[in-house]
Amino acid sequence: MTDYSEIIRRICGSRTEISDIRSVSGGDINEAFLIALSDGSRVFLKENTRENADFFKAEMTGISAIRKTGAVRVPVILDTGIVENRSYLMMEYLDSAPRKRDYWERFGRQMAAMHRADPSEWTPGGNYGFPEDNYIGAGRQVNDVHTRWIDFFRDCRLEVQFRRAGAFFDAAGRKAAQRLLDHLDRYLTEPAHPSLLHGDLWSGNFVTGPEGYACLIDPAVYAGHAEADLAMTELFGGFAPAFYDAYREENEILPGYSDRRDLYNLYHLLNHLNLFGGSYYGSVMRIVSRFC
């Protein structure tokens, strides 16, 4: 096990010692640990190979961007770097309290507020993307800045994933995918303004914090159309109805969203196809065939 004693003393105080380290669940990508400290506090640690240090830098930047909106809680990042040839990300450990009665309503309003926040610090001039690439799961997410949302989604989301997934498609499938890309603006709409997105907003990427309300984790942040975040919430079963009701009270969702939702989720299904294999091919092609 990597020795984090010096790092803990640097960020938590010279008299702080590590009392215990134990492995905890942290997803499929990283090793994760709960560190108990001599002052009674606890720290959450993610660890990976030295070569994956950029993964943690991107996560830190994404969490910082969400925090600056002031809309929804995210963990406090304590440190990131490389030690003993291992990359790491250290953050506050969030004790989980029972969910408050208005948990889902508050979460919906928080996400609506985040989507209304001005992302121009990251993409000036009303543009779409992010200053740097980051990661969607284990896959690299391209964030080249574009002036139009539909162009961004075509070039940096669908086209990138279709190219990576080329081996899964026969000639007919490739032609269908190209027809979809060529006519994407028939189906998608330009938003009134770019929104800062979590980017990977499914049930595994938020936790209940010590106040009994939602806290976002593991972002894949960029400036985009708010509908893309909402779509992801529905890909694997959806959130509670109260979340969507509260969101709609704050932010208008325009007609036709249910069709656009499937195109936005095509990106995530393609990413899963590339990461996890052919079991996602049928879901991908059902959407491609519907719109091409």
Q: Which amino acid is at 3?
A: D
pLDDT at 290: 94
Q: What is the mean pLDDT of residues 2-30?
A: 88
Cα 239–Cα 98–Cα 42 angle in degrees, nearest 5: 110
Please state, in angstroms and as integers, the Cα–Cα distance from residue 256 to each residue in 14, 61, 182, following that order. 58, 33, 20
- Segment 86-100, tens digit of pLDDT: 999 999 999 999 999
Give the model's confidence band at 256: pLDDT under 50 very low, under 70 low, under 90 confident, else very high.
very high
Catalytic residue among 20, 28, 118, 200: 200
Report strand pairing: 195-197 vs 222-224: antiparallel
Q: Is the pLDDT of residue 121 over 80?
A: yes
Q: pLDDT above 70 covers what percent of the chain?
A: 99
Q: State the architecture of 5-92 in CATH terms.
A: 2-Layer Sandwich (3.30)
pLDDT at 27: 64
Give the model's confidence band at 14: pLDDT under 50 very low, under 70 low, under 90 confident, else very high.
confident
* Residue 46, helix vs strand vs coil: strand
- Segment 258-290, tens digit of pLDDT: 999 999 999 999 999 999 999 999 999 999 999
pLDDT at 1: 74
pLDDT at 29: 82
Domain 103-291 sits in CATH at: 3.90.1200.10
Give the model's confidence band at 17: pLDDT under 50 very low, under 70 low, under 90 confident, else very high.
very high
pLDDT at 279: 96
pLDDT at 292: 84
Give the model's confidence band at 235: pLDDT under 50 very low, under 70 low, under 90 confident, else very high.
very high
Maximum C-alpha span of the chain: 66
**Domain residues of the chain, as ranges?**
5-92, 103-291
Give the model's confidence band at 26: pLDDT under 50 very low, under 70 low, under 90 confident, else very high.
low
In the residue annotation, 200 being an active-site residue is answered as yes
Q: Is the pLDDT of residue 136 over 90?
A: yes
